[in-house]
Amino acid sequence: MGKVHQSQGRLKPASEHLMSEPEIVANIANAYFGNETKIDWKSLGEDYNLLREKMSQVLTGYQNYSKKSKGSGFYLPNNVREADFSKLPDGKAQFSICELPQHDLKTNEFILMTVRSHDQFNTTIYGMNDRYRGVHGERRVIFMNPKDMESLQLKAEQVVDLTSNYSNKERRAEQFKIIPYDIPSGNLCAYFPETNILVPNDLYADKSHTPVSKSLIVRIDPSNYM
């Protein structure tokens, strides 16, 4: 873990009009900022070495990034791996205890966590199979405890809709197949970005500002889709 190396796509692009993520972001920045900044956005989107040079200037351990990332790559600095706690109080690792949150769930409400599939990197989806969880050819699925399914009289592969309600704003993700799964009762699991629509943009962690994507209160309703 924590190793950086260059990768190269092996498949022929489905279209000549497809753009990489850096190119998409660079085009947005170029359209928004134009010549207001000294940054050559278009070049940054076309030449990954320019991106690596920028990263090597600001990120610890990324010096000579383009050269070091070739071949087998390089390991990022990791104080835990190197057992170096010298910068911490008393020179020792620090542990903290977090209390479990108390969710007052109503009937038919669950805690949803969003995850990636096996054939996925961040929001980039490379395939429709998830060998981690035995799902093939489908992504609009919801993993659910069989006992919860029984209590709501839901069947395997039944199509349902998911709804969240935060700050009096209802958000709805439609047409998900139920997959019986070994998950704690009261909890659900689904893939993102398919369920991103359920995530409010004004609720996040105090320090990291991480969205509540791993702890969403949602309701399950039978879908009108047949």
The yes/no answer on whether domain 109-222 falls in CATH 1.10.357.10 is no
d(CA 97, CA 205): 16
Highest mean pLDDT (candidates 7-21, 78-92, 184-198): 184-198
Q: Is residue 8 pLDDT above 90, yes or no?
A: no
What's the pLDDT band for 100 if we cut at 50, 70, 90?
Answer: confident
Structure confidence by residue, pLDDT tens digits, 108-127: 999 999 999 998 988 889 99
What's the pLDDT band for 226 if we cut at 50, 70, 90?
Answer: low
Strands (E), the chain: 3-4, 74-75, 109-115, 120-121, 124-125, 141-144, 159-166, 169-180, 187-191, 216-222
Cβ atoms of 65 and 79 within 8 Å: the answer is: no
90 SS3 class:
helix
- pLDDT for 159: 96
Domains of the chain: which residue ranges?
A: 3-8+16-75, 109-222
Question: From residue 152, how far is each of 17, 111, 174 by CA, in Å?
Answer: 46, 15, 18
Q: What is the DSSP string of 7-57?
A: ----SPPS-TT---HHHHHHHHHHHHHTTSSS--HHHHHH-HHHHHHHHHH
Handedness of CA 129, 135, 138, 143 (dihedral sign): negative
What's the pLDDT band for 95 if we cut at 50, 70, 90?
Answer: confident
CA angle at 80 for the pair 77 and 84, rounded to the nearest 5°? 80
Q: What is the mean pLDDT of residues 8-24?
A: 89
- pLDDT for 58: 93
175 SS3 class:
strand
**Per residue in 166-185, is it b (16+ CB within 10 Å) or e — as a string?**
beeeebebeebbbbbbebee
- pLDDT for 122: 85
